[in-house]
Amino acid sequence: MHWGYANMPITNWDDLRLFLAVGRAGGIAAAARGLRVDHSTVVRRLAGLEEAMGARLADRLPTGVRLTGAGMELFAHAERIEAEAKAADLKLGGVDEGPTGTVRLATPEAFGSFLVAPGVHLLHARYPGLCLELVPEGRAVSLSRREADIGVMLARPPRGRLHTRKLADYRLGLYASAGYLERAGHVKRMSDLAGHAFVSYIDELVGIPQLRALEQVVPGANVVFRSSSVVAQHNAVAAGMGIGLLHGFAVSPDAQLVPILEDQIAVYRSYWLVMHSDQRNLPRISAVLRFLDEIISANRDRIAPL
């Protein structure tokens, strides 16, 4: 359903500001705290907004609220109004502080921990009024439920109302610490892998099929340590626990991790950038998208070396 916003019966900006707070907080109680008003006030005004719109905007759930289709459409419209109002205020005041506000970015753990987090200070230096919320998840988050503004995913989502583009291809390879190989024996050929210990994921806790890659390159591997965290796996391999299938971009030159059969074993995966089509031109969203493209450009040789 599409609404005729030019003629919609909303004359109070505070109604839209309250609705934005509810959508961003994901709950009425949290929105009330953020706005410093009573819980009952938010409930009453949200009900009034729904009555004025003639549509249910949010489903009440035990864990909070979830925007309906009409609610998501109104949310995007309200964000555009908010951005335009802020831009007008800055222009009239003769000040341009750049994008402001909060952007929630959901990424696979390795991408967020080893690429985004080390460079986020650059984003803050450029746009001090912008706050980035990083959600490094081992599962696919739902942009349709507003769990994030921007998502980096390991699989291209089905066609729909989301805007999608490939961000980068990346490479995984086998690594072990120099100390482990001295103790357990160096690997010179594929058959040597049979006698080694491996580090991997907890199978039943892997929410993204693309993460199940070790079995493809080393069938029947003797896994002695499992973790749902790729950072924990990386640290265990660095400490000498065994061999791990690690992200090449996460292995720093001084980490004393040794690549194993790198001319024979490599797994390639892709990162996909996903966002709401009606949000991608918002200043705060555009700023983070440029930041992500810069991260990929600066680390191209580490992410997917030829």
Whole-number average pLDDT of the chain: 85
pLDDT digits (tens, 9 = 90+) for 13-25: 778 888 988 888 8
Confidence of residue 97 (pLDDT cuts 50, 70, 90): low
Long-range contacts of 202-209 (CB under 8 A, 24+ apart): 202/226, 202/227, 202/228, 205/138, 206/138, 207/138, 207/139, 207/140, 208/108, 208/138, 208/139, 208/140, 208/154, 208/155, 209/155
Which of the following CATH numbers is that of domain 169-269: 3.40.50.620, 3.40.30.10, 3.40.190.10, 1.10.357.10? 3.40.190.10
Under CATH, to which class is 5-92 assigned?
mainly alpha
pLDDT digits (tens, 9 = 90+) for 225-282: 999 999 999 999 999 999 999 999 999 766 689 999 999 999 999 999 998 877 878 8
Q: CATH 1.10.10.10 in the chain, residues?
A: 5-92
pLDDT at 1 over 50: no
pLDDT digits (tens, 9 = 90+) for 181-206: 999 999 999 999 998 999 999 987 77
Whether pTM exceeds 0.75: no
Q: CATH 3.40.190.10 in the chain, residues?
A: 101-168+270-303, 169-269
pLDDT digits (tens, 9 = 90+) for 110-142: 999 999 999 999 999 999 999 999 998 755 666
**Looking at the domain 101-168+270-303, which fold is it?**
D-Maltodextrin-Binding Protein; domain 2 (3.40.190)
Q: What is the pLDDT of residue 272?
A: 93
